[in-house]
């Protein structure tokens, strides 16, 4: 096991449900220095686990374990932290409670403070749903976090993004084998259908037009890309876990809590940390226009579109080296400021 | 019955299969004049039937029955022309043969010439898959057709568009009730799933951002839009029909025939008729970039993006009055030239 578990006890969620003996799985890179001022928090993305975040960590990178102490907390529902797939009865499977990004970040804050005694965070950064959690760190702990760098993500799930996810969910659950989540063996047809729905959204029209699935990623045909990359990506994952995280995504909103009471501009305005907000220029479900709205309402933010035709995958997980270098350079710039 | 049937006899398709006693359903508006030079052909779109095309026809419109003779041929597979749902055994249901846009337009040409003795067509126009058929008219009968006006469609299904449709197909067929097309009652879950997948693609991010589903179309909530508009749209349709037309769409290519042998630029270059190619500026599956490529290779074409945030529905079916007026004005301009 290459990660640790933070035993959080009984965690009461925004929904009112309780995860008993809640577990937050995390991995750290580097060493916390004596001043405890070299901390970077780097949450995971939809269905990703901590090792899926490692592409941005390394010697010579902004996230360099030689100088930084990088904490990668696994999102609830991702199969390592408390999830439908690993929670004992009676809160297992489709009974796993609905978890918000707020719940996630609140728990991550406990890890950072209770486990490590950290009072300042140099930077929070993340891709996609990792960006959603990054925005939450900025809005919920603006005095603790010095910088945020959300990329290819948003502070609130847009209506269009919500609809895209409705399609993903409908495809998975249309498989009768899903059985309202009480499946005994995996709903394979549904997982494959979900993958095919996702395929059109994940990369841009231009990516497919330029045949980068073949020419850059090395798949032997478009169908090979759909089977080997997309179906291969979703098939190993647990359907209830995927749906739990999907709910978290659809209901992501930094203002959906007792602090901001649904006032989204107010929550954005409260994000004091210096922010580099980096949408993918051709991202189909986190379009730059939504990021521009966020930046306009944030007091200390800069909009930096990632110039790429890789769609949502401009931001990760390390799929396109050129985009990785672009994001890494911006993170260095932000850390140096 | 507000339409006619052209009995086409035994039609041999590109695939080698034969539709026996093939039927082409069509409706006409206006009167064919003595010179037979007032003809407009206006094919239908994915799952649409002739009455779904009427929004562009009317007094004072470019397509004015007072002066034009407008022929609306129903696409094969749409439930009125020969389709999985109305073809007798043994070619019924999922055994209905694969039909190309070439097959459709070849049959439409027979209707126009054999039934009406028409030798010149003033204009062919159509939305979406209607645009695909319009491009085919231009490439297959360049000396017969004077003008074409394809809007929100393409001359060849792009790879990204193909992938989008893979998602739609996977969602529908994930429903076990679909039973490989041998369903006894309709695969309702699959049809609803397909509708939800389609919902994110049909309209643009900006459409949903501006809440035009509520503010312009009058639905009471986003979920109401998904159920009443989208699920309500697909539920009455036959699943095998939808899949037959989807295959036609995915394999649409004006050069996939013995004339052009897959040379797409060559087929585009052969489209001599004056052409107004009108993509929707925010269409997610027929993006303007693909239209620009087409226009670049066509000898007599103008690219005219429809300035609209209605996504694919900038082009039809009459959903946004402002876009209807824009397209109508351009059709008048083209007819007058």
**pLDDT tens figures, B49-103:** 999 999 999 999 999 999 999 999 999 999 999 999 999 999 999 999 999 999 9
Q: Which tokens hold the place of A312? A: 């949502």
3-class secondary-structure state, position A288: helix
Q: What is the pLDDT of residues A211-266, one digit of tens each?
A: 999 999 999 999 999 999 999 999 999 999 999 999 999 999 999 999 999 999 99
DSSP state of B258: T
Question: For the domain with range A4-157+253-336, which CATH number is right: 3.40.50.1820, 3.40.1160.10, 3.30.565.10, 3.30.470.10?
Answer: 3.40.50.1820
Q: Does residue B318 register a pLDDT over 90?
A: no
Q: CB–CB of B175 and A175 under 8 A?
A: yes
Tell me if chain B has a CB within 8 Å of the CB of A292.
Answer: no
A160 close contact with B: CB closer than 8 A: yes
The answer to whether residue B317 scores a pLDDT higher than 90 is no
Residues ≥6 apart with Cβ < 8 Å to A181: A84, A93, A94, A239, A240, A243
pLDDT at A49 over 90: yes
pLDDT at B316: 79
Q: Does residue B312 carry a catalytic annotation?
A: yes
Give me chain B's average pLDDT, please. 97
A13 at the B interface (CB within 8 A)? no
Chain A contact set for B198 (CB, 8 A): 167
| Edge-first strand listing for the sheet containing A274-277 | A4-12, A18-29, A69-73, A39-41, A123-127, A147-151, A274-277, A301-303
Question: Among partner residues B190, B196, B284, which is closest to A166 by beta-carbon distance?
Answer: B196
Mean pLDDT value across residues B189-208? 98
B250 contacts chain A (CB < 8 A): no
Distance between A93 CA and the closest CA of chain B, angstroms: 21
* Least Cα separation, residue B172 to chain A (angstroms): 8
A290 is catalytic: no
Read off the pLDDT of residues A172-219 as tens digits, 9 standing for 90 and up: 999 999 999 999 999 999 999 999 999 999 999 999 999 999 999 999
Is residue A283 annotated as part of the catalytic site, yes or no? yes
What pLDDT, on the 0 to 100 scale, is given for residue A333? 98
Using CB atoms, pick whichever of B197, B208, B209 lies closest to residue A197: B197
CA trace torsion B60, B61, B66, B68 (10° rounding):
150
Alpha-helix residue ranges (DSSP H) falling in chain B: 101-110, 129-140, 159-173, 188-202, 205-209, 212-215, 222-224, 232-234, 239-250, 264-269, 288-297, 321-336
Q: Which of A64-68, A313-317, B14-18, B125-129 is predicted least confidently?
A: A313-317
The yes/no answer to whether this complex scores an ipTM above 0.90 is yes
| Nearest residue on chain A to B192, alpha-carbon basis | A170
pTM value surpassing 0.95? yes
Cβ within 8 Å, pair A287-B176: no
Instruction: Please state, rounded to an integer, the average pLDDT across all residues of chain A.
Output: 97
Alpha-carbon gap, residue A61 to A318, rounded angstroms = 13
pLDDT at B264: 98
Please answer whether residues A336 and A67 qualify as being in contact, where contact means their C-beta atoms are separated by less than 8 angstroms: no
Give CA–CA dist B138/B334, Å, rounded: 15
Predicted pLDDT of residue A1: 81
Residues of chain A neighbouring B209 (CB-CB closer than 8 A):
158-160, 289-290
Is the pLDDT at A319 greater than 90, yes or no?
no
- Contact status of B175 with chain A (Cβ, < 8 Å): yes
pLDDT band at B315 (very low <50, low <70, confident <90, very high): confident
For B4-157+252-336, CATH number out of 3.10.20.30, 3.40.50.1820, 3.40.50.300, 3.40.640.10 equals 3.40.50.1820
Residue B319 scores a pLDDT above 90:
no
Residue A131 has pLDDT above 90, yes or no: yes
Closest Cα in chain B to A171: B171
Ramachandran angles phi, psi of A105, nearest 5°: -75, -30
């Amino acid at each position: 096991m290459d990660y640790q578990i933070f035993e959080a006890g009984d965690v009461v969620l925004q929904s009112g449900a309780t995860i008993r003996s809640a577990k937050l799985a995390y991995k750290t890179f580097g060493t916390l220095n004596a001043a405890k001022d070299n901390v970077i928090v780097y949450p995971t993305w939809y269905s990703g686990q901590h090792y899926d975040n490692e592409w941005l960590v390394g010697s010579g990178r902004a996230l360099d374990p030689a100088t930084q102490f990088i904490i990668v907390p696994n999102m609830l529902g991702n199969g390592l932290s408390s999830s439908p797939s690993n929670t004992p009865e009676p809160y297992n499977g489709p009974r796993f409670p609905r978890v918000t990004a707020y719940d996630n970040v609140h728990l991550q804050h406990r890890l950072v403070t209770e486990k490590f005694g950290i009072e300042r965070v140099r930077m929070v950064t993340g891709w996609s749903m990792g960006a959603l959690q990054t925005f939450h760190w900025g809005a919920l702990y603006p005095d603790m976090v010095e910088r945020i760098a959300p990329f290819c993500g948003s502070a609130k799930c847009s209506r269009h993004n919500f609809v895209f996810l409705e399609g993903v969910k409908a495809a998975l659950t249309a498989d009768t084998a899903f059985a309202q989540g009480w499946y005994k063996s995996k709903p394979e047809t549904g997982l494959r259908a979900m993958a095919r729905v996702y395929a059109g959204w994940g990369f841009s029209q231009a990516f497919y037009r330029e045949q980068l699935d073949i020419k850059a990623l090395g798949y032997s045909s478009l169908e090979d890309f759909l089977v080997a990359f997309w179906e291969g990506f979703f098939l190993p994952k647990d359907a209830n876990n995927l749906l739990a995280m999907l709910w978290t995504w659809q209901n992501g909103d930094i203002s959906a809590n007792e602090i901001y009471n649904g006032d989204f501009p107010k929550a954005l305005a409260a994000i004091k940390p210096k922010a580099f907000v980096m949408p993918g220029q051709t991202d189909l479900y986190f379009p730059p226009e939504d990021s521009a709205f966020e930046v306009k309402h944030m007091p200390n933010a800069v909009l930096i579109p990632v110039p790429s035709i890789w769609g949502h995958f401009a931001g990760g997980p390390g799929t396109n080296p050129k985009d990785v270098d672009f994001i890494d350079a911006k993170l260095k710039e932000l850390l140096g400021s």
